[in-house]
Amino acid sequence: MKKTLVAVALLAGALAFSPRLRAQSGASTQSGTQPGAQSSQAGIDQDIQMLRLDIRSKKKQMVAANLKLTDSEATKFWPVYDQYTADLVKINDEKYALIKEYADKWGSLTDDQALSLTNRALGVDEKVAQLRIRYVPIFNKVIPGTKVATFYQIERRIQAVIDLQLSSQLPLVQAQE
């Protein structure tokens, strides 16, 4: 049940973005019912990794479609964007590890564990905010301020949708009682 909780929560956030991945997630759910929890977890982790890659690809496509860059700006912007995304992935690795931990402990989560998860999740949010702040001047070296602001609007909107999809699949802590 707990492993399924992780898979559902992480997959749900991505499924809204990719009909192709719905078929893949159905296959992984079936494989998750076979014996061997370790191989099942490896399969879930692999599915999640594929979904995260697909989300990043779709996110980049959405930014490209909505951020009006000249050819010269695009040549300078995309390497910075790719580095920003790589830095964001590292932080999101922590976020997904917390979700997995929550799922593993759900049903027997103590007050101390709940507070620890809460504080660490808020720390992840803080790291994302710090990353965004750090990259404002870096982006502004390659594109004008109005385009930096537009990029952040697009990026935050996409992230808000992903976060809403993800959080809507996680049960409330009190529901375990």
Residue range 127-138: mean pLDDT, rounded: 98
Q: Which pLDDT value is given to residue 175?
A: 82
Domain boundaries, the chain: 2-176
Strand blocks (E) in 17-89: none
37 pLDDT band, cuts 50/70/90, is low
Whether the per-residue pLDDT at 89 is higher than 80: the answer is yes
Residue range 112-141: mean pLDDT, rounded: 97
Whether the per-residue pLDDT at 94 is higher than 60: the answer is yes
Decide which of 59 and 28 is more confident.
59
Whether the per-residue pLDDT at 23 is higher than 50: the answer is no
Residue range 18-26: mean pLDDT, rounded: 34
**DSSP 8-state assignment for residue 106:** T
Decide which of 22 and 126 is more confident.
126
CA atoms within 13 A on the CB side of 94: 16
Length of the chain: 177
Q: Which of 28-42, 61-75, 131-145, 163-177 has the lowest mean pLDDT?
A: 28-42
What is the spatial distance between Cα 61 and Cα 172, in angstroms, rounded to a whole number? 33
Whether the per-residue pLDDT at 1 is higher than 60: the answer is no
Decide which of 29 and 79 is more confident.
79
What is the spatial distance between Cα 103 and Cα 117, in angstroms, rounded to a whole number? 11
**DSSP 8-state assignment for residue 169:** T
Decide which of 79 and 35 is more confident.
79
Which has the closest alpha carbon to 41: 72, 49, 150, 93? 49
